[in-house]
Chain A
């Protein structure tokens, strides 16, 4: 009587132990360091690292979205297209940008007025993507091709010598204009 109960219990306990060890080992062996959802969200964000979303960079914002702590409409540089892409990825309804985070504006680049720059390095420390070049008491300059237009270098500048301007038009980036849509009634598509 006792053995007929104890044996199955023992077997089940043993099995549980074996599987538990196996699972424990697997969770160590096949550990994924980063959350793949966060990676996917991060890949859709524009990487301006501008912090307009209220998080210190694109990746923290992606992590917050993945954790359900942030909404998908807090990224003005990504714009409506970015919101739509995020909604598509996460199976949510697209929504308009949250005006609290700012408006979608055309991309700009920072330009330093080199006569006014005093070489304080504050903007270099503020730049999230290392796009400003310079040294203490030496004139600084912006690498235009690497500037994401995040505006973060503007507040720390003590002499207000940084301006955000429209990027120089380059022939490589020139796009053919969109053909005019005809004014005809009843067109769909």
Chain B
């Protein structure tokens, strides 16, 4: 009997399932959960990047010298390509210029630099309380204008994802509260501190996407979170929102792994969760949606975990977008003397930064400061012994050692055929490799190589098209020129013919005249 996966997934959360591989990791979350969440004081300068989402940068609508209020839009957004960004506080725009971005490349991107005036004065806020009666277009537009993107790390524009889900006719909205990477605790703190917001956001998102129910997925070790969320769900009176506990086996918070845990179904390779009737959003995204609709607050700040053995007092901060990372670390007691490396994200999937002056962006969930002892290699890299441990732990069911050989030998077609693109870069293979081979480093390199090759093929195709069009145009112009010249020649010939005939006629007339006089004379 064949049953449609989208039907099976209706039972999400009712039974426990598992995904292939994964690891039980030490959590290291307590160290940043012990202290209460704080809001750091205003920094001297905020650097707000104009592109914090997947897509194209928004075009700045402010210029240097302009005074902005908290919540003012900084760009003109076209909702096809991205979401807007907003002034995180009131102050003066110092410059709109290229600044290094919190991106593994550290390459610059357009940013708006704001010097806060200290008043933190809001612009006129427009809550959307009647969201239940608005059209889908208006709701999606509101999401985009409030600058809401997925806050789990991929920063995919939420309105685009919601529209995709709605058009695919999803039945269940999954809120991802499974924060699987070690050290990161910002979502856990958010769920503990503001469960009402998450539930309210879930109701709005469920309405926008047309889902029938919502499941909030949390880890089985989050006791306090469970209590807080259950209380908030009861108080809201919503009977279509439920909680699901999932085992903490890294990377259970990955979208595909979470879905497999809750439904037993796999999202098709190259497909979306919407293909099997589901839509996944981070809990922090839901909270941001509630802020935008109920309070009229665009996405200006987020919970950021500042942790690691290189930070004196690890904790969670409610940080404004654009705050330099150094300001957050200072708020947590500064660096310890042993601090050696600063990482954005977690120890498994994060990337290291070249400078702590780079700003908090919507994607930045954690700043992890590691000490020399943490990062020192315990053993040099050795040749692969083909033990197969990497394939055993790979949650995407790939063959990491095979891919490793292929990438090393530049066998790009083979690597693509072995689904290199399906690698989620979770780092499990790296973690278990007894030869300490930087497998994920190779996969990241290989994936960007494949992406660039595809891009090069597209540009080559475009160049071919333009060259063909040019050749055709030149041919056409040549023919037209020839035709024109031929016409002119013809016209000239006609004219000279005419002239000749006129001359002949004149000559004839003249000869008649000359022939006549004798007659005249004679007459």
Among B77-85, B241-249, B262-270, B377-385, the one that faces the other chain is: B377-385
CA distance in complex: A187, B456 (Å): 32
Q: Is B126 an interface residue (CB 8 A)?
A: no
Docked pose: A173 CA to B459 CA in angstroms: 12
Whether A130 and B445, one on each chain, are in contact in the complex, defined by CB atoms closer than 8 angstroms, is no
**A170 and B107 contact, Cβ closer than 8 Å, known pairs A129-B466, A189-B405:** yes
Instruction: Tell yes or no: A179 within 8 A of B by CB.
Output: yes
CB proximity of A133 to chain B, nearest CB, Å: 13
Task: List B contacts of A30 (CB < 8 A).
Answer: none
A168, closest chain B residue (CB):
B107
B265 to chain A, nearest CB (A): 31
Q: Please state if A131 and B441 are interface contacts (CB–CB under 8 Å).
A: no
From residue 155 to 189 of chain A, which have CB atoms closer than 8 A to chain B? 169-171, 173-179, 181-182, 184, 186-189
Q: Are A129 and B467 in contact (CB under 8 A)?
A: yes
* Residue B363 at the chain A interface, CB threshold 8 Å: no
Pair A189/B380 contact, Cβ less than 8 Å = no
A173 lies within 8 A of B409 (CB): no
B445 touches A179 (CB 8 A): yes
Within 8 A of A (CB), among B377-435: 380-384, 405, 408-409
Q: State whether B466 touches A175 (Cβ < 8 A).
A: no
Q: Which residue on A lies nearest to B448, using beta carbons? A: A175
Q: Name the residue on A nearest B461 (C-beta).
A: A47
**Within 8 Å of chain B (Cβ to Cβ): is A49?**
yes
Q: Are A174 and B107 in contact (CB under 8 A)?
A: yes
Given contacts A47-B463, A130-B469, A131-B466, contact A175 B408 (CB under 8 A): no
B448 to chain A, nearest CB (A): 4
Decide: B107 and A176 in contact? CB cutoff 8 A: no
A119 interfacial by beta-carbon distance below 8 Å: no
Residues of B near A128 (CB, < 8 A) are: 467, 470
Decide if B480 is an interface residue (CB 8 Å cutoff): no
Decide if A130 touches B105 in the complex (CB within 8 Å): no
Q: Known contacts being A171-B107, A184-B383, is A129 close to B409, with CB within 8 Å?
A: no
* B506 touches A (CB below 8 Å): no
Measured between beta carbons, the chain B residues less than 8 angstroms from A47 are 460-461, 463-464, 467
Q: How many residues of B contact A (CB 8 A)?
A: 37
Q: Which residues of B contact A182 (CB under 8 A)?
A: 380-383
User: B487 on the interface (CB 8 Å rule)?
Assistant: no
A179-B441, A186-B383, A189-B408 known; A57-B466 Cβ under 8 A: no
The distance from the CB of A145 to the nearest CB of chain B, in whole angstroms, is: 8
Those of B352-386 within 8 Å (CB) of chain A: 380-384
Interface of chain A residues 3 through 50 with chain B (CB within 8 A): 42, 45-49
Residue of A nearest to B463 (CB): A47
User: Which B residues are in CB contact (< 8 Å) with A58?
Assistant: 464, 467
**CB within 8 Å of A: which of B82-114?**
101, 103-105, 107, 109
Secondary structure dominating the interface of A: loop
B455 within 8 A of A: yes
- Determine how close the nearest CB of chain A comes to the CB of B369; give it in whole angstroms: 22
CA distance A148 to B445 in the complex (A): 24
CB-defined contacts of A188 to chain B, threshold 8 Å: 383
Q: Name the distance in Å between B413's Cβ and chain A's nearest Cβ.
A: 10
In the bound complex, residues from chain A placing their C-beta under 8 Å from that of B445 are: 175-179
Distance in angstroms between the alpha carbons of A182 and B104 in the assembled complex: 23
- With contact pairs A46-B460, A178-B445, A182-B381 given, residues A171 and B101 touching in the complex (Cβ less than 8 Å): yes
Q: Does A103 contact B (CB under 8 A)?
A: no
A175:B452 contact, CB within 8 angstroms:
yes
> Is the Cβ of B460 less than 8 Å from the Cβ of A175?
no
User: Which chain B residue shows the least CB distance to A176?
Assistant: B444
Rounded to whole angstroms, the CA-CA distance of A149 and B442 in the bound complex is 30
Give min CB distance, B478 to chain A, whole Å: 13
Q: Output the residue of A47, A57, A184 with the most chain B CB within 10 A.
A: A47
B44 interfacial by beta-carbon distance below 8 Å:
no
A45 partner residues in chain B, CB cutoff 8 A: 460
Tell me the smallest distance from the CB of A176 to a CB of chain B, in Å.
4
Q: Is the CB of B470 within 8 A of A176?
A: no
> Is A114 an interface position by the 8 A CB rule?
no
List, in ascending order, chain A residues with CB within 8 A of B469's CB: 130
Among residues of B, the one whose C-beta sits closest to the C-beta of A57 is B467
Q: B470–A130 contact, CB under 8 A? A: yes
Report B-chain residues with C-beta under 8 Å of the C-beta of A104.
none
B382 x A130 contact (CB < 8 A): no
Query: In the assembled complex, how far is the CB of residue B465 from the closest CB belonging to chain A, in whole angstroms?
Result: 9
Contact present for B381 and A146 (CB under 8 Å): no
Contacts of B464 in A (CB 8 A): 42, 47, 58
Partner of A176 from B104, B380, B405 at Cβ < 8 Å: B104
Q: Which of A48, A171, A174, A187 is within 8 Å of B463, CB to CB?
A: A48
Tell me if A179 and B470 are in contact (CB < 8 A). Answer: no
Q: A175 touching B449 by the CB < 8 A rule?
A: yes
Interchain CB contact under 8 A, A148 and B463: yes
B154 → chain A, closest Cβ, in Å? 15
Tell me which residues across on chain B come within 8 A of A48, comparing CB atoms.
463
Q: Which residues of A contact B107 (CB under 8 A)?
A: 169-171, 174
Residue B438 is within 8 A (CB to CB) of chain A in the complex: yes
Q: Does B134 contact A (CB under 8 A)?
A: no
Considering the chains assembled together, what is the distance between the CA atoms of A49 and B381 in angstroms? 44
* Cβ contacts A to B, 17 pairs, < 8 Å: A49-B467, A57-B467, A57-B471, A58-B464, A128-B467, A129-B466, A131-B466, A148-B463, A169-B107, A171-B103, A174-B105, A175-B448, A175-B452, A176-B441, A179-B442, A181-B408, A184-B380
Chain A interface residues toward B at CB < 8 A: 42, 45-49, 57-58, 128-131, 145-146, 148, 169-171, 173-179, 181-182, 184, 186-189
